[in-house]
Structure 1
Amino acid sequence: MVRALSSVPVVVAAAVCLSACGGSPRRRHAPVEVPAKAKAAVRIARSYLPEEERKRPIPKDCSDFVGSVYKEDGVALPRSSKAMAEKGILVASSKELRMGDLVFFSGSRGGSEVGHVGIYVNNGIFIHQANPGEGVRMESLYSDYYRKRYLKGRRIVE
């Protein structure tokens, strides 16, 4: 009987420890409301994709594409990607990007100077015109090429 009683504290201690290991319930962040203008910008940008029924002319370059999309959405942007990179609110981390944010990359030579711009869609995907004369396409922000060249994001519409 003494032996059985001496194991009770051990069992109780183990139960307390195991119940503590269950952790607290995960906090869920309230979903972020995406502004209508940001949704519209992504919808307009997608209409430039080659597989869309609504054919659009191929933009001259990446900044022409982004500028055309936002102009149709009622937002005026500068002509160059470098000037666009100074507009709006800085998005500190790529993990904080939201639909419609602009994403900026260094040019093909690398470095810290802005040389390319696209529009963030969702889940690590952005839409852009990679090269002049080529069509618009969607790509992963986390592909080797773009991950190495990512500089920053800017929130243009709130």
Structure 2
Amino acid sequence: MFYQPKVQTVGSISDFLARDDMRVIKSAVKKFNKKAEAKGLKATLTSLATGATAISISNKMFTSTAYAEGPVEYVKGAAKEKIVEAFMPLVDMIQALSYPIALVMLTGGALMFMINQKDRGMTLIQNASIGYILVQLMPLLMQLLVGIGNTVAMAAPFTLLI
């Protein structure tokens, strides 16, 4: 025999039968975070209202910035970063829930179309499609608005009080 299978002992049968799936997922996320820390990535677990668990991966390089203007600007930036990081699980949950809601609305629109209410059906399908796309683009749109706000704030540092 030229090939011998590799045998690896990972635990007892009672450990295998008593294992908790969430514990396995949490350990996998910890392993991922250890490996991905050098790349600036971080994974977090979010429990959704439906009982499902979502894993979100964020890029820490975009959220950590250095401010050279002074301590006040640094505190403002650090506070903004903390608030954005605090709301990311909520944004992830909304994005995860948008798919089943859009699916129900698209199905309802198709049923309306089938029962000869074409105007209401097409309106429902259009609204569901546009709403789903906007929800998925919400983080990108917020980054764009923050960038525009920072540009306007840098361009007009002085305000006139009348």
TM-score (norm 1): 0.21
Higher relative contact order (CA 8 A, sep 6+): 1
- TM-score normalised per structure 2: 0.21
More helix per residue: 1 or 2? 2
